[in-house]
Structures are given as C-alpha cells and as structure tokens.
Amino acid sequence: MSIYAEITIKEKRTGREGRYIALLNSGSSLRPISVDVRVLPITYIIVPPEVAGEIGIDLTETFRRGEHYLYEGEYEVCMCCPEGEKILCLDTQFILIEEGLDRIIIPAEFLMRAKIKLDLGTLSWEYGGRKIKSIFEAKDIRTIDKKLLRYTPYYDLV
C-alpha cells in the first residue's frame, strides 16, 4: 500500500482548479544532472496528459522530450486532509507530463520543499506537527467521489 492525499491544482492566472488524489512518492524524482547536483531544489508535480488538459495545459505548445512534456507556468498545488481541508499550498512553476502515466505523483523534491515526512508504518504524512492519514486509510474507498479516484488503482474497483 502507498500513501495518497487529496490535492488541488490551481492555475493562478485564470483561477482554474482541479481536485484529485495523488501518490506521495519519495522514490520519484528527476534524473540527477551531475554527481554533485543530485537533487534540484524546484517544486514540480508529475501528471498524466489528461490532467494537463483539465488544468489548461496545451501540449502542442509545450516542450517535449521523449515521452515527457515540461510545462512552465504559475500553479498552486495544495495538499488536503481526508476531509478536504487545505493543509498546505506551494507555488509550482513546473509540471512534468508523462505519456502513459495513470497516477498523479507528488515527487521527492515537492515533499522536501514542503517539509512533508512520510510514515509508512501508519500510512500517513506529517506536516507542521500534524499527522494526516492516507486518504484510503482514513475513508472507506466506496464513499469517495469516483471522479477523484480516476488516477488511482481503485477507479475500476468501485
């Protein structure tokens, strides 16, 4: 089992906002650019092309390399508790879009910048002295809006 959280992604210029469930993944990060620079201190998230379209990103106008697109814009990504309350919000300038991806990923760099700690023993994340359970531990999956489950392993099960 993994740790998932409800998030919002808001395009700051237009105010267009989407609500999703994302995988908190400390093992996902950008490829190192040298042996001296292993972690880039930038805040970004990784999304499937469908999510990019929902939040207003036009892939035809986005830099592409292989199966990845890199979009630079002004977004606010908020992490929410299972009840939907926004716990923390970070400005994000980069959104990595990956062909074939079926999850929204909050990578190590985002977690580090936000000072979020993952607790695999309790399947929760910690921020500011508060421990927040993974949404799938805190709620019965059958009670979660199916639209929120689209980019999780549970979508086809409910």
pLDDT in tens, 8-43: 999 998 899 999 999 998 775 555 545 555 566 678
Residues 6+ apart with CB under 8 A from 3: 23, 24, 118, 120, 123, 124, 125, 134
pLDDT value of residue 78: 97
- Confidence bin at 156 (pLDDT 50/70/90): confident
Residue 93, CB-side half-sphere exposure with 13 Å CA sphere: 2
CA-closest candidate to residue 73, choices 96, 45, 93: 93
Q: Per DSSP, what are the bridge partners of residue 106?
A: 24
Going from the N-terminus, what domains does the chain have, and what CATH number goes with each? Answer: 4-157 (2.40.70.10)
- Tens digits of residue pLDDT in 104-122: 999 988 999 999 999 999 9
Q: Which helix (H) or strand (E) holds 109?
A: helix 108-114
Cα separation, 9 vs 55, whole angstroms: 7
Strand residue runs (E) in the chain: 4-11, 17-24, 44-47, 63-65, 68-80, 86-98, 105-106, 117-119, 124-127, 130-133
Single pTM value for the model: 0.89
Describe the chain by its helix, strand, coil percentages, rounded to 5. 20, 40, 40
